[in-house]
Amino acid sequence: MFALVDCNNFYASCERVFNPNLQGKPIAILSNNDGCVISMSDEAKKLQLPFGAPIFKWNQFCKEKNITVLSSNYPLYGDMSARVMNILEDFSPDVEVYSIDESFLKLEGFENYNLTDYAIKIRSRILKWTGIPTCVGIAPTKALSKVANKIARSNLKQSKGICIIDSEENRIKALKWTKIGNVWGIGRRLKKRLQAKGVQTAYDFTQLSSDWVLQNFSIVEWRLQKDLQGISKIPLEEVSSKKMIATTRSFEYTYSDIDNVKERISTFAASCAEKLRAQKSSCHMLIIQLSSDRHKKDLQQHRESKTVVFSYPTDSTLTISSAAVEAVKTIFRAGVKYKRAGVIVTGLVPNNNFQLNLFTHENPKHKPLMSAIDGLNKKYKADKIKLGNQDLKRTWKMRQERLSPKFTTNINEILVVKRHPEIVSGSHKNK
């Protein structure tokens, strides 16, 4: 059996943990630079605030409907996610963190367990220890556990956040309830192709010939169909190193000067290098991206990328940043107002297993230097040690005018609880 544990309206729930006044009220969370709505509470959904709504167009609507609009607080969300995932490891040795707010658990050897009680225990502990509400779907396969979770989430009052598919009757009933577009792994294009074949529900999909599915689609769709039929073909995935690492951001303001662009590129490259070292990898290739503001059609538009191939694999911030800055200088155009830039490192190999180059190699001083920098940044403060061409006072410089405090990741913003004066005076009287 597999369990899918999904946090309900995760970003909004994180905000509510530290601001109980938001309980039961509509909340909308914005993307980077306070751009578009990327998450919202159930209360905001009922008011028909659309996902992806640009806030500058919907700001008045939010004010009229008393929707609390907040900037994305990713340090807080990331920390709360880690706390939830750590709790789940107590319930199963096999956990696949699927996203920031959901994980698969493999329940092997749980034949004699009461799965309903086990699901209740999972939900209760997460809620008690973190304040985050969850839903739990349990089924014989991963795809079916996804279906079960959606059913649990669709009617919280009736389901109490739990749905278990433990019989053939329940499986068929669940699949007939699930529209084909809501099936895990079915995108828009695949949905249209299946609907043209007369497939309207997940159950319809399972009734197609498996040979036809394999011939007309791919092994991925075939495995999905088998999973929905109750035959486990999608295994629990182990955490593996990324095949590429990207740091792309929009600027707070547009930049038309090369110095600001170079500083941003250097900072993004440093971030990629840190992530490389964290997963003990090196890169063979570097891609630089630079683009103007596509929304401002009246301004000169320019979008270009540059690829750099290293003669040896590297994880050095010095090497990667220097190459990135030199690359961006070749694609920068004077007079263009740039809004977004990105650095991508790819062609990744393990640090302990790659082909050496007889003629060129990394400066041997870089390894201990990078190790020392990472150690200092980890011990004292992130980004405490920077390159000379980086701005010491900023990293992303994003617009976050509605940002809540980083309650769990910044000691200066930790939640402070004050006793009411009347309670304090009353306690003195009782003494």
CATH number at residue 317: 3.30.1490.100
> What pLDDT was estimated at residue 423?
54
Highest mean pLDDT among 183-187, 348-352, 365-369, 411-415: 183-187
Q: Percent of the chain scored above 90 by pLDDT?
A: 48
- The more confident residue out of 166 and 350 is 166
Q: Does one domain contain both 80 and 209?
A: yes
> What pLDDT was estimated at residue 431?
45
pLDDT at 206 over 90: yes
Cα→Cα distances 275→35, 291, 375, 379, 390, Å: 26, 24, 14, 17, 17
Mean pLDDT of the chain, nearest integer: 85
Q: Does one domain contain both 192 and 167?
A: yes
Among 379, 405, 421, give the residue marking a domain's end.
379
> What pLDDT was estimated at residue 362?
65
pLDDT at 277 over 60: yes
CA angle 258, 263, 267 (to 5 degrees): 145
> What pLDDT was estimated at residue 192?
93
Using CA atoms, how far apart are residues 334 and 277, in angstroms rounded to an integer?
35
Q: Does one domain contain both 117 and 175?
A: yes
Q: Does one domain contain both 91 and 210?
A: yes
Q: Does one domain contain both 92 and 151?
A: yes
Q: Does one domain contain both 186 and 307?
A: no
pLDDT at 254 over 50: yes
Q: Does one domain contain both 87 and 217?
A: yes
- The more confident residue out of 127 and 422 is 127
Q: Does one domain contain both 123 and 208?
A: yes
> What pLDDT was estimated at residue 251?
81
Stretch 361-381: mean pLDDT: 72
pLDDT in tens, 379-415: 665 555 556 555 555 544 556 777 787 777 676 777 7
Is 423 a member of any domain?
no
Domain containing 353 equals 244-379
Q: Does one domain contain both 83 and 208?
A: yes
- The more confident residue out of 347 and 48 is 48
Q: Percent of the chain scored above 70 by pLDDT?
A: 86
> What pLDDT was estimated at residue 389?
55
> What pLDDT was estimated at residue 170?
95
Amino acid at 400: Q
> What pLDDT was estimated at residue 278?
87
> What pLDDT was estimated at residue 210?
93
Q: Does one domain contain both 95 and 152?
A: yes
pLDDT band of residue 367 (cuts 50, 70, 90) is: confident
* Torsion angles phi and psi, residue 427, rounded to 5: -65, -35
The tokens of 228 are what?
Answer: 């929905």
Q: Does one domain contain both 260 and 279?
A: yes
- The more confident residue out of 318 and 74 is 318
> What pLDDT was estimated at residue 350?
83
Least confident of 230-234, 301-305, 344-348: 344-348
- The more confident residue out of 411 and 136 is 136
Stretch 82-104: mean pLDDT: 90
> What pLDDT was estimated at residue 327?
93
Number of domains in the chain: 3
